[in-house]
Amino acid sequence: MLKQGVMEVLPKVRGVYKINEPLCRHTWFAVGGPAEVMFVPCDEADLGAFLQGCPAEVPLFVIGGGSNLLVRDGGIDGVVIKLEAPAFKKIELNGNILTCGAGLRNVELQKFLVKNGIGGLEFLSTIPGTIGGSVRTNAGCYGKEVKDVLKAARVVNRKGELSEVSADELHLTYRNSSFPEDWIITALDFEIQEEEPEKVLETLNHQKMQREVSQPHNVKTAGSTFKNPEGKKAWALIKQAGCAELAVGGAKVSERHANFLVNADGACARDIENLGEEIVRRVYENSGIKLEWEVKRVGKP
């Protein structure tokens, strides 16, 4: 529940504050408690002014498309920031550099790539979520990762200061990054190459077909649950540990891909997390390998 003092200490903004906003509306798992306050800024200047005026003791968390996120049932204290205003969804082409707002959904990127004959980013446009979230986790598939195409990013720090940093300064590694937690990405520059629109569409359709064959779709899931250990496949370890048909409450392991957990029947966040932890336990007992969560878990139990 909202503490009365939180809204009283937040600065005036041009954007929108939402009190006790249910985060189940903002995640692909469709679970999770409320954000004490959600802030939707109008643009970079509004975000910067909010950060300058927000007391340091107020916790902040940035949410993207919610595709790689498990919000616990107790919700998130403080302010959850969501960059969903039009100013954060812009996309501009300048030579061989494509600039995308952090709030741009990857599915919208697909349309732009085909229309403008742009290659090299097809893999990124098929990953669920937003462009900003893809960078935080160095998302990748089909042999490419964000770090292979990223040139620079615009970021705002906790003091509200805007700067541009190179891709190297983001320290992107396998499904991870180590740049400061208080950096909020607002826009990204990608290096692209010209390609025939028909070829781009062909690549996108091929990748879509592969996903539909091998991964669950049209279900409540957050994507790959665990990182692949070096030289191993998480899904194979999960199957070998006898977890392919495991379920806890309304959560279960996907029948199509063992590294995907699914909210199949009114699961709560606790069901999903407990299922994941049971998989970690069983895989460790069976193989001696401890799986590491790829899905980000946040909030109070």
d(CA 218, CA 191): 32
Sequence ranges of the domains in the chain: 4-86, 90-212, 219-298
Active site residue 294: yes
Q: Cβ-count burial of 296 within 10 angstroms (0-12 exposed, 13-18 middle, 19+ buried)?
A: middle
Q: Which residue carries 């077909």 as its tokens?
A: 209
Please give the Cα distance from 12 to 172 (Å, whole number): 35
User: How many residues are listed for the chain in this entry?
Assistant: 301
Question: Domain 4-86, what fold?
Answer: 3.30.43
- In single-letter form, the type of residue at position 34 comes to P
pLDDT tens, the chain, 301 aa long: 344 578 899 999 999 999 999 999 999 999 999 999 999 999 999 999 999 999 999 999 999 999 999 999 999 999 999 999 999 999 999 999 999 999 999 889 999 999 999 999 998 888 888 999 888 888 888 788 999 999 999 999 999 999 999 999 988 888 878 888 889 999 999 999 999 999 999 999 988 888 888 788 889 999 999 999 999 999 999 999 999 999 999 999 999 999 999 999 999 999 999 999 999 999 999 999 999 999 999 999 9
- For residue 15, the SS3 value is coil
- Tell me what pLDDT residue 283 has: 98
Fold of 219-298: 3.90.78
Find the catalytic residue in 72, 136, 175, 282: 175
Active site residue 14: no
Q: Which among 38, 39, 40, 28 has a CA at the least distance from the CA of 75?
A: 38
Is 136 designated active site?
no
- Residue 154's nearest CA partner among 128, 124, 190, 118 is 190
pLDDT of residue 73: 98
Indicate the pairing of strand 140-141 with strand 118-119.
Answer: unpaired
CATH topology for 90-212?
3.30.465
Write the CA distances from 87 to 67, 79, 102, 140, 268, integer angstroms.
21, 20, 10, 26, 34
Would you list the DSSP string of 225-287?
-BPPPTTS-HHHHHHHTT-TT-EETTEEE-SS-TTEEEE-SS--HHHHHHHHHHHHHHHHHHH
- Closest CA relative to residue 271, chosen from 19, 27, 29: 29
- Which one of the listed residues 224, 254, 273, 282 is annotated catalytic? 224
Q: Which of 44, 84, 122, 294 is catalytic?
A: 294
pLDDT of residue 1: 39
